[in-house]
Structure 1
Amino acid sequence: MPPDTAPLLQATGIDAGYGTMQVLWGVDLDVRAGETVLLLGANGAGKTTFLKSLVGLIEARQGSIRLGGEDVTRLRSSDRMRRGMTYMSELAVFPDLSIEENIRIGAQALGHAHAGARADELYGLFPVLREKRKNPASSLSGGQRKMLGIAKALSAEPKLLVMDEPSAGLSPLFVKEVIRILADLRGRGLALLIAEQNIGFLEVATRVFVLEGGRIRFSGTVAEMSGNQALHRAYFGLK
């Protein structure tokens, strides 16, 4: 990605927290169109809080968030989604709804006809979901639920997909499958921001930000991180 490419997402100086507890201090992060950025950190580092501030589920106390050059810091979550940013939480799906209903909820901003066409396109990417589309999401295996979560997030046709711990609750085999799917999405030009503690996701990353104690401790390419011995010892032990 050329260094002079304008960021699709630019978060600058983000402070955030809950009540009297501050979780983030001055976090800076950017994602360019079509690239995959990994936000790496252990449990409790502040990854979920940061993602929630990006997508508008909690309010940033300080700092700014720009999407496609527009300041979206004070916009509602639904307005950020309409501008091209979609969020996939750890839970990812509505378990009591059918697979088809989950996907159509994700695509509700597209209009009925367009949503149907988008669902058909996603069933092509995830054929196991087509076979089970009338079944409740709760009937799926953990790996299949994660696929549905990705499909649900993609149904809105985002420019940027923000993902919180896509490896959560998965076996190593399904983690590899999720990584394969994300590598394919990257090839389709979608920008990805993935918060993880599983270093296997370095395989699909363009750049890495390391979050520790609510602060960014490192930002750079995967090669630069691998060459930093202190970071390598500290973070490559993450599971």
Structure 2
Amino acid sequence: MPPDALLQASGIDAGYGTMQVLWGVDLDVRPGETVLLLGANGAGKTTFLKSLVGLIQARRGQIKLAGQDVTQTRSSDRMKLGMTYMSELAVFPDLSIEENIRVGAEALGHADPRARIEELYGVFPVLREKRRNPASSLSGGQRKMLGIAKALAADPKLLVMDEPSAGLSPLLVKEVLHVLADLRGRGLALLIAEQNISFLEIATRVFVLEGGHIRFSGTVAEMSDNESLRQAYFGLK
């Protein structure tokens, strides 16, 4: 693992009850880069992300964030160190748009998060227009934007995302990719778990997860040069 890594996961085993899902998973994210964790449904992507952010406890291995060992720490403490998580569901549908963002901003520890909320409305103007409406009133693409805004409200160094393309049309996936590319340009590190290969467009490096094991890690160019990997997993031409 590189010494300057923002996130380092080494030898992670994880699972649920008697079922083991991950075996010895290694992954790192460096400041400002976009890492794509590719894999089919059931590969273990969500389990791995949950172990990173502290929603489940890793059975073996070590997780370091910003140079600190967080393997045994709570999710809230990991958030304070700069890592936020956007699940596939992304938002609380019964809360208003602004209430969702305020929930995300709680980790800031500020008495008044209005400045951060206004900054995010500048990035996502459609949310400002609808800020008092319930999140359930938004389209699928707008919900994803709200989920991103909610995760960004804590001003993280690393945004961890689980299947941001889930339930979206190809056109809306392009909108999400545009937003994420802009965030990457602002210096935010991204770790994105996906099965949609469109996200290769914004990736710095790629890790392929299959059956709870990392089968490949490298750059997008290196993945493109691996003909068996392209055809076996993703049908890339």
Partner of 2:220: 222
Using the alignment, how far apart are the partners of 1:5 and 1:189 within structure 2? 19
What is the identity, as a one-letter code, of the residue corresponding to 2:150?
Answer: K
Instruction: Identify the residue that residue 93 of structure 1 maps to in structure 2.
Output: 91
Per-residue CA deviation, residues 135-161 of structure 1 (Å, 9 max, x unaligned), is 000000000000000000000000000
> TM-score, normalization: structure 1?
0.97
Shift of the alpha carbon at 1:14?
Answer: 0.1
What CA distance in whole angstroms lies between the structure 1 residues aligned with 2:157 and 2:126?
A: 25
Aligned position for 2:54: 56
The residue that corresponds to 1:9 in the other structure is 7
Change over 3 Å in CA distance of 1:108–1:4 after alignment to 2 = closer
Match for residue 191 of structure 1 among 189, 211, 214: 189
CA distance in 2, matches of 1:4, 1:143: 36
Question: Per-residue deviation at 1:234?
Answer: 1.5
Q: Please state if 1:65 is matched with 2:81.
A: no
2:140–2:167 contact (8 Å) kept in structure 1: yes
**Contact 2:91 / 2:143 at 8 angstroms: preserved in 1?**
yes
Report matched runs for 1:104-115 at 5 Å. 104-110=102-108, 111-113=110-112, 115=113
Paired position in structure 2 for 1:40:
38
Q: Which runs of 5+ in 1 are unaligned?
A: none
Structure 1: 4+ residue segments shifted above 4 A = none
Partner residue of 2:168? 170
1:4: how far off? Answer: 5.7
Identical positions, percent: 82
CA contact (8 A) 1:5 1:32 kept: no
Q: Aligned partner of 1:100: which letter?
A: E
- 1: distance between equivalents of 2:192 and 2:37? 6
For the Cα contact (< 8 Å) 1:38–1:196, is it kept in 2? Answer: yes
The alignment partner of 1:38 has SS state of strand
- 1:30 partner amino acid: D
Q: Contact 1:9–1:68 (CA<8 Å) still a contact in 2?
A: yes
Whether the 8 Å CA contact 1:88–1:153 is kept in 2: the answer is: yes
Over residues 105-146 of structure 1, what are the superposed CA-to-partner deviations in whole Å (9 max), with x where a residue is unaligned? 100122132x11000000000000000000000000000000
Q: Which secondary structure does the structure 1 equivalent of 2:6 belong to?
A: strand
Mapped contact 1:98–1:136 kept (Cα < 8 A) = yes
What amino acid is aligned across from residue 50 of structure 1 in structure 2? F
**Number of equivalent positions:** 235
Alpha-carbon deviation of 1:173?
0.6
Contact 2:76/2:107 (<8 A) preserved: no
1: CA distance between counterparts of 2:215 and 2:176?
Answer: 27
Matched, 1:29 2:27: yes
Name the CA shift for 1:4/1:42 in 2 (closer, same or farther; >3 Å): closer
8 Å contact kept, 1:39–1:194:
yes
Partners in 2 of 1:157 and 1:112 — Cα distance? 15
Alpha-carbon separation, structure 1, partners of 2:3 and 2:54: 25
TM normalised by structure 2 equals 0.97
TM-aligned CA deviation for residue 5 of structure 1: 5.9
**Residue identity in the other structure for 1:203:** E
